[in-house]
Amino acid sequence: MKRYLTYVLSFALLGFTSCEGFLDTDVPSIDQHTFFSGEQTAYSALVGIYDPAGWMEYIQFLDWAIGDVVSDDATKGGGGDSDQPQIYDLEHFRATPEMATLSTVWEQNYEGINRANRLIEGLKDNTAVKEDVRKRFIAEARFMRGYYYFCLIKVFGAVPIVDHILAPSEYKGPRNTLEQCWTFVENDFKAAMEGLPHKKAMPATELGRATWGAAAAFLTKAYIFQAKWKPAEAQAKAIVASGDYDLQPNYGDLFTIATDNGIESVFDIQLKDFKMTQWGDENEGSMLEIYQRSRDDRNGGWGFDQPTQSLYDEFEPGDIRREWTIIKNGDVLWQGTADEETIYTNYDPVHNPDAPRIGYCKRKGTLPKSQRPDMTDAASLNVRVIRFADVLLWQAEAAVHNNSDWQTPLNHVRARVGLGESPYKADPLKAVYHERRVELALESHRYWDLVRTGRGSLMEGYTDSKRYFPIPQKEINLNPNLKQNPY
C-alpha cells in the first residue's frame, strides 16, 4: 500500500513544483523595457512621434477652421449650416467646451507629447544607442514636443506642461501659466537647434525630419507670438543668413506636390497617398484637398474654406497671388493640359445648390485630376506649416517694432511676384500686415495674426475673451484642477 501513497504524493507534488516558474510567460511584443535596445527600435519610436502631426483633426481640420474660417479670410462653405456644424459654431464664436474637435485636438497633441517624452526617457543615458544618433533623436523629440505644445497654446493658451511619463499620481496637474508654457516651448526649440542638422546637409531621404532651421523658425514664431521683437528679428535674420532656404521662384508652384519639402519649405507636415484604400489617420494622406475643392458636382469636392470678398479685395491690382489663392466661377485651371478643368463656384440649382450666389473657392492646394486619388483614398500634398516667406515677414514685422530695416525682407517677398515697394510703406505696420494677409492667405495664419496683434475686432463677434477656445469639458471632468478659459 505504501507504494500507492508514494505514487500519489509524487504526482501531487508534480503539480505544484516550480509553479512560479511555470507561470512566467514571455511577453510576445516589445515592451517599454526592451524597446530602446538599439538604434532601429529607437528610430521606430522617433517616427511614431511625428505620426500624430499628420492626423486629420488638427492640421487637416481645426487649424484651417480657426486660422481661415474664424478669421475674416474665409467662410465655412460646405453643404449648408449643418455640414460640419462645429466649424459653423467656431466661425460664429459659439464654441462650447463640449465640442468634440477641441477635445480630440487636446488629446492628440498630448499623445504626440507623450510619445516624445517616451523617447527622451528611453534614450537618456542609454549607451545602447550611439551618442550622435541619440543626440539627434532627442533633439527631434524635443522639436516635436515643442511643436505639439505650440499647437495647444495657439488654441487653448496656457496648458499643463508634461515633460516626462506621468505616474498615476501625477495625472491631474493644473494648467501652467502662459509664460511658463512659452518658456518651455522656447527651451525645447533652443535645445533642438543644438542637436539638429541643417536642411541643406540632409539627404533627400530624410526630408521632413526636424532641422535646425525648423527649430529656429518655431523659436522665432514663439518670440513673435509673445511680441519679443528683438530676439525675433535676430533669430529670423540668422535663419536668412544660414542660406538653408530661399523663395520658390514661381509663387504658383508653391502648393504643388512637386515643391513638397522644396527650397521654401522650412517645416512641412508630410502627407502622401499610399493607395491604402482607406480614410482616417492610418493612411498618411490628406483630406484637405477634397475639403476645399469646389462642391459643384462637376468638380466633386466638398467646398469648405471659401474665400471672402474681403480677402479678394485685399489684393493690390496686378498681384498675381490673388489668382493663385482664389478661384472664381468659370476659371479654367491647368489650361492646355490633360487635366484642364473648369471650376464652378457659384450657386447652381442642379450642380451646386449649396454654393452662395457668387462664390469663391480656395486654389492653394487644389490638385489636378491626375493627382487626385479616387474616393477611396486621401490625397498627397504636404502642409507648409512654415515657409521662408513667413520667416521674412516675421523679420519685417519685428524690424518695424525695432526701428530697423524692415523693407529689405518685405520687398524680397514682393519681388518674387513682380511687385515693387509696398503701397502702404508710409505705415510700415500696415504694409507688413497687408503683406502677411495676401502672401499667406488661406494658410491657416490669419486668425492668430489678428489676435496676437490686437486686431481681433476685425472679426464680427470677437471679443478679447474669445482669443482662446474653451478647455474641453471632458478634460475638466477628468481633471478638476484645470481652470476653464473665459471664452
Residues 356-375 that bind other proteins (CB under 8 A): 375
Site string for other proteins, 228-267 (x = CB under 8 A): --------------------------------xx------
Query: Would you say 164 or 455 has its CB closer to other proteins?
Result: 164
Among 7, 92, 310, 458, which residue interacts with other proteins (rule: CB under 8 A)? 7
Site for other proteins contains 206 (CB under 8 A) = yes
Give least dist CB 29 to other proteins, A.
5
State the virtual CA torsion across 56, 57, 63, 69 in degrees, nearest 10.
Answer: 100
Distance of alpha carbon 274 from alpha carbon 458, whole angstroms: 41
Among 179, 246, 253, 282, which residue interacts with other proteins (rule: CB under 8 A)? 282
- Full 3-state SS string of 75-113: EEECCCCCCCHHHHHHHCCCCCCCCHHHHHHHHHHHHHH
Residue span binding other proteins (CB under 8 A) among the ranges 130-138, 238-246, 271-279, 394-402: 271-279
Distance of alpha carbon 245 from alpha carbon 248, whole angstroms: 9
Query: Would you say 164 or 230 has its CB closer to other proteins?
Result: 164
Residue span binding other proteins (CB under 8 A) among the ranges 15-23, 190-198, 309-317, 402-410: 15-23
Site for other proteins contains 129 (CB under 8 A) = no
Site for other proteins contains 118 (CB under 8 A) = yes
Among 59, 74, 129, 162, which residue interacts with other proteins (rule: CB under 8 A)? 162
Main-chain dihedrals φ then ψ at residue 164, nearest 5 degrees: -155, 170
Query: Would you say 96 or 465 has its CB closer to other proteins?
Result: 96
440-459 residues in contact with other proteins (CB under 8 A) are none
Query: Would you say 235 or 286 has its CB closer to other proteins?
Result: 286
Among 115, 362, 384, 412, which residue interacts with other proteins (rule: CB under 8 A)? 115
DSSP 160-196: ----SPPPGGGTT-----HHHHHHHHHHHHHHHHHHP
Query: Would you say 210 or 398 has its CB closer to other proteins?
Result: 210
Give least dist CB 167 to other proteins, A.
10
- Report DSSP state, residue 466: G
* End-to-end alpha carbon distance in the chain: 87
DSSP helix/strand/coil, 247:
coil
CA distances from 352 to 249, 273, 295, 303, 365 (A): 36, 27, 6, 10, 21
Residue span binding other proteins (CB under 8 A) among the ranges 272-280, 289-297, 310-318, 448-456: 272-280
Give least dist CB 271 to other proteins, A.
8
Among 133, 178, 207, 238, which residue interacts with other proteins (rule: CB under 8 A)? 207
Distance of alpha carbon 124 from alpha carbon 31, whole angstroms: 17
Distance of alpha carbon 47 from alpha carbon 209, whole angstroms: 9
Query: Would you say 309 or 477 has its CB closer to other proteins?
Result: 477
Give least dist CB 197 to other proteins, A.
13
Distance of alpha carbon 331 from alpha carbon 390, whole angstroms: 28
Decide: residue 156, CB within 10 A, 0-12 exposed, 13-18 middle, 19+ buried.
Answer: buried
Distance of alpha carbon 366 from alpha carbon 327, whole angstroms: 10
Number of residues that bind other proteins (CB under 8 A): 76
Main-chain dihedrals φ then ψ at residue 311, nearest 5 degrees: -70, -45
Unique residue bearing C-alpha cell 490628406 = 286
Query: Would you say 383 or 441 has its CB closer to other proteins?
Result: 383
368-407 residues in contact with other proteins (CB under 8 A) are 375
Query: Would you say 209 or 372 has its CB closer to other proteins?
Result: 209
Residue span binding other proteins (CB under 8 A) among the ranges 206-214, 217-225, 327-335, 344-352: 206-214
Distance of alpha carbon 310 from alpha carbon 305, whole angstroms: 14
Instruction: List the beta strands (DSSP E) in 210-270.
Output: 265-269
Among 94, 124, 130, 172, which residue interacts with other proteins (rule: CB under 8 A)? 172
Among 127, 131, 132, 205, which residue interacts with other proteins (rule: CB under 8 A)? 205
DSSP 46-61: HHHHHGGGGSHHIIII
Site for other proteins contains 208 (CB under 8 A) = yes
Cα three-residue angle 20-26-27, rounded to 5 degrees: 125
464-483 residues in contact with other proteins (CB under 8 A) are 472, 474-475, 477-479
- Report whether 349 contacts 296 (CB < 8 A): no
Give least dist CB 112 to other proteins, A.
8
19-58 residues in contact with other proteins (CB under 8 A) are 19-20, 22-32, 35, 41, 44-51, 53-54
Among 69, 74, 113, 191, which residue interacts with other proteins (rule: CB under 8 A)? 113
Region class of 355: left (phi > 0), else alpha (psi between -120 and 50), else beta: beta
